Each structure stands twice: as structure tokens, then as C-alpha cells.
Amino acid sequence: MEEQDYIQFEAYLAGELPKDELSDFEERLKTDAPFKEAFQVYKDFTSHLEHEITNEQENSDFKANLDVISTMHFNKTLAPKVSEEPTQKSNLYKYAIAASVAVLIGVFVFTQFNYPTYEDFNSYEPISLSVRSSDVAVFNKAEQSFNAQNYEAAIAAFNTILEDDFSNLEIQLYKSIALVETNQFEEADLLFNKLSNGSSAYKDKAKWILALSYLKQERNSACIDVLKTIPEDAEDYESAQKLLNQLD
Amino acid sequence: MSKKKLHEDQKYIDGLAANNTFIIQAIYDKFVPKVINYIKQNSGDVYDAQDVVQETIITIYNQAKQKKLELTCPFDAYFFLLCKRKWLNQLKKSGRKEVTINEEVLSKDDDAQVLSFETSVFENKQTLFKAMFEELGEACKDLLNATFKIKSMEEVAKSLNITYAYARKKKSLCIGQLTKLVKASPKFNQLNY
């Protein structure tokens, strides 16, 4: 096609083709197959761009909404059932004894009891968020709050980010950490389910944090189950093995 | 096809286009379990199903928004065929286990076959169009982004510091460039032009 043909396509679609050219143009569409084909592609591409660019906000709202509904649906009906810790109370009890023993005879002996705690493992690296929108301030706020261990404020900032960009897995992961830190385990579990079963780069990280969440809740057998699913090439594999050894 | 009577399930198409939460939930409750079963019976798991369903729904949404998709068959048959085709294609690509294609499950509804095929072609177009747009030079990308965002060509021209006539001509030529890229792609013959 010549430049002039595309200029004509554009004018035709805008309804601005001069009358004297219009009938020739329509005649050519009928008789000239390559011309017609090029016009069809041109028209479809225009419609595609209108949809992708003009409706950008609507489209991302739709995807965010869909993501929420999908996650809820699949969590509700199909979440893998993690066996509840039946001996939670007795573990607590044991822990209490261990703790009081520790108080009595010192930290060294306490570690001999091999009761690892969440606090032994929750030293999270400072985060550095990749800013995906123009709202840099809220990203800064999230980053600073998280790194200052001000998790409530971090969660608020994460939520603001997720309102615009629900599928941002990086933010979902950090939010899940902040939720565990503030003992909001159920909400954290929703995120873990999604992240650890997905195929994203955050999959194994999510498993590790989920294991820590169970550790914090003293659901040790659930914790062990999750730790065992962390593969050798995962960043947290060594920590996972260390924790496994201490729990076994 | 335009002469055919719309099916009452058009409400699902319109609901998706309008981002209606109740309709989307209804689709999950009513039509998704069948897809999950099918994928689980054919070398997949629940999470494969979750992805297939989500991608399929996004495609239907895109088409409904752009083309005013008109449903002349039950949504169930149309949706199931789309998910099924997507899953089989993924299996083929990943070279996973043999697929047991359960032909009885295939809908005998001709409209469902035709419509789901059109939607699959539409999806292929979308994918190719997106890829081709990325190959465009920065100047064209900027101009088209501005054109379709701002709508008024006068404002576009002003914001890019060019004349109206030039902006208008440039837009035609940039989309012309995209047209050429699409036609030159080896995937072009899958697009049913």
C-alpha cells in the first residue's frame, strides 16, 4: 500500500473522506482484494488501539476485579486443606515450660530445647520497590514504613497501591509479610495461597513466609509440610532446611 | 449472523463488558466447575484451570468491549469450547502428556463452534497486534498513545508541538506501518483475513 492509501483509510474511518473520493474508495474495496485486506487490518488495529489505550483504566479495573473474584472463588472451593495442628495447646504448654526453663537457666540451655521461634527467622531484608505507577509517594511511604517495621502503615500504603494495581505480585508478597507481622493470619493466607500456587517468581518466597506464619502460630506440622515443598534452588532453601532440622 | 436472534445469555457478555461483579461471580459459580473438571481429567490441575478461565474471560471481555460480541448460543457451550481449546493448545505447546479428547463433551451447537472460533481468532489478533505495537518506533508510539488518549487531534498536535495536519497524517502512517508489520508476520495467515 502507498502512503496515500493509509491517509485515505484514516479519513474514511473518521467519516471525512470527500464525497468525490468516497464512491471510488468503496468501489475499490469491492474489487481490489489486497486493498480491502489492508483496510480491514487497519480498521481492526485502530479498534484495538482504541480499546487498549483509550480504555486503559477501565481494562485494568476489570482485570483487578476479575482477579479478586477468581482468587475468592478458587480459595473458597478449592483451597488445599492444610491439616490443623491438633496439639496446638499442648505445644503452647510445652513452649511455656521451655520458656520458663530458659528464663531460669539461661538462653544457652533454651536453645538446646530446639524450639525455634518466628523471631529467629523474621529478619527481612529492607525492601526496594519497583515503582509501577506515577504515584511515587505512596511507593516511598510503603517502602519506608516496611523497612522501619511500621507494618500497619506499610499495609495501608500497600493497599493504596493494590487498589490501582491489584495484580502487583511484589506488593502482594510484602503485604503478606506485614500481615504476618501484625498477626492477621487469615488475610495473609489468602495471599499465600495465590502466590505460592502461582507460577510467579515469588512462589517460593511466599512458601517460606507461609512457613514462618505457621511457625509464629505454632502450627508446627503445617510449618514442616510447607518447608518441605521449598525446592533446592529457592533463595530461602538453606533457611528452610535449618528450620526443618530444628523442628524435627 | 447479524440476523440471528440473540441468546438470553447475552447478559453474561454485557455483564463482562460492564465489569459487573455479580455477573462475573455468576460465571464462576455456574460455568467454571465444568472447566475445572475437564482440565483435571486432561493432565491439568486446579491452578491450570484458574489461569485458563481467567485468560478466557479477559479475551471475552476484550472482544465484547470492541466488537460488540453477539451471543446466539448458550454461554455455557461457548465458554467451555473456548477454555477447552485454550487448554489443548497449551498442552500441545508444552508437550505434556497425551491428551484424552473427550469428544462427547464437544458441543453440537454450531453457533457455539462458530462463535468460539471467532473469539479464538480475535485473541490471536490481539496478541499479534500487541507484539507489533511494541516493534513500532518511539515517535509513532508516543503519537498513537497521545492520539487515542486525548482524542482531540488539535490537542494532540499541541501537546507534541506539531501541526494538526501533520499529526493527522502521521497517525495514518503509523497505523499504516502497523498494518504492514501485521501483514508481514508469519502469524498473519492464522488471522482469517
- Residues B67-95 pLDDT 10s: 779 999 999 999 999 999 999 988 888 77
Of A37, A58, A197, Cβ closest to residue B47: A197
**Contact B99/B158 with Cβ under 8 angstroms?**
no
C-alpha pair distances (Å), A241 with each of A85, A211, A247, B57, B142 = 21, 12, 10, 41, 51
Establish if B70 belongs to a structural domain: yes
User: Considering CB atoms only, which of A42, A47, A78 is closest to B46?
Assistant: A78
Which one of B109, B125, B147 terminates a domain? B109
Domain count, chain B: 2
pLDDT of residue A234: 83
When CB atoms are compared, the residue of A7, A61, A197 closest to B172 is A7
pLDDT surpasses 70 at A197 = yes
Contact A53 B176 (CB under 8 A): no
Report domain extents, chain A: 3-54, 85-115, 116-247
Residue B193 CA to residue B122 CA, distance in Å, equals 11
Q: Answer yes or no: is B127 within a domain.
A: no
Long-range contacts at B113-117 (CB < 8 A, ≥ 24 apart): B113/B81, B114/B1, B115/B69, B115/B71, B115/B72, B115/B73, B115/B78, B116/B78, B116/B81, B116/B82, B116/B85
For residues B92 and B141, state if they share a domain.
no
From B130's Cα to the closest Cα of chain A, the distance in A is: 9
Mean per-residue pLDDT of chain B: 88
Interface test with B, best of A36, A71, A73 (most B CBs within 10 A): A73
A202 closest CA partner among A180, A165, A235? A235
**Average pLDDT taken over every residue of chain A:** 83
Partner residue facing B148 (CB), from A1, A53, A59: A53
Decide if pLDDT at A92 tops 80: no
> B190 and chain A: CB distance < 8 Å anywhere?
no
Handedness of CA B45, B46, B48, B49 (dihedral sign): positive
CB–CB contact A40 B129 (8 Å): no
Q: At residue B177, does pLDDT exceed 60? A: yes
Cα of B80 to nearest chain A Cα, Å: 17
Does residue B22 share a domain with residue B68?
yes
Q: Average pLDDT of B14-33? A: 93
One domain for residues B157 and B88: no
Find all residues with CB under 8 Å of A13, minimum gap 6, and list them.
Answer: A42, A43, A46
Question: Which architecture characterizes domain A116-247 according to CATH?
Answer: Alpha Horseshoe (1.25)
pLDDT score for A111: 47
Question: What CATH number should be reported for the domain holding residue B101?
Answer: 1.10.1740
Q: Is residue B38 part of a domain?
A: yes
Say how far residue A119 (Cα) sits from the centre of its chain: 24
In a domain, B65, yes or no: yes
Is residue B3 situated within a structural domain? no
Give the per-residue pLDDT at A139.
Answer: 87
pLDDT band, very low/low/confident/very high, at B97 (cuts 50, 70, 90): low
- Residue contact A54–B151, C-beta within 8 A: yes
* Inter-chain touch B65–A45, beta carbons under 8 Å: no
Q: Is residue B129 part of a domain?
A: no
pLDDT digits (tens, 9 = 90+) for A12-71: 998 888 888 899 999 999 999 999 999 999 999 999 999 999 888 889 889 888 988 888
Q: Are both B96 and B143 inside the same structural domain?
A: no
> In terms of pLDDT, which residue wins out, A189 or A128?
A189
Mutation pick from A44, A71, A72 vs chain B, by most beta carbons of B within 10 Å, is: A44
Asked if B21 has any chain A CB less than 8 Å from its own CB, the reply is: yes
Q: Looking at mean pLDDT, say which of A116-125, A163-172, B28-37, B38-47 comes out highest.
A: B28-37
Confidence (pLDDT) at B67: 78
B152: in domain: yes
CA distance A31 to chain B (A): 16
Q: From the CA of B55, how many Å to the nearest CA of chain A? A: 10
Q: Does residue B116 belong to any structural domain of this protein? A: no
Do B15 and B93 belong together in one domain? yes
**Structural domain boundaries enclosing B21:** 10-109
Instruction: Give A150-176 pLDDT, tens digit per residue.
Output: 999 999 999 888 887 777 888 889 999
Statement to judge: residues B99 and B144 lie in one domain: no
Q: What is the pLDDT of residues A109-125, one digit of tens each?
A: 444 455 788 888 888 88
Give B73's DSSP letter: S
- Judge if B90 and B169 occupy the same domain: no
The verdict on B148 and B105 lying in the same domain is: no
At A106 the pLDDT is: 52
Residue B103 or B117, more confident: B117
Examine the domain organization and report whether B24 and B61 are in the same domain. Answer: yes
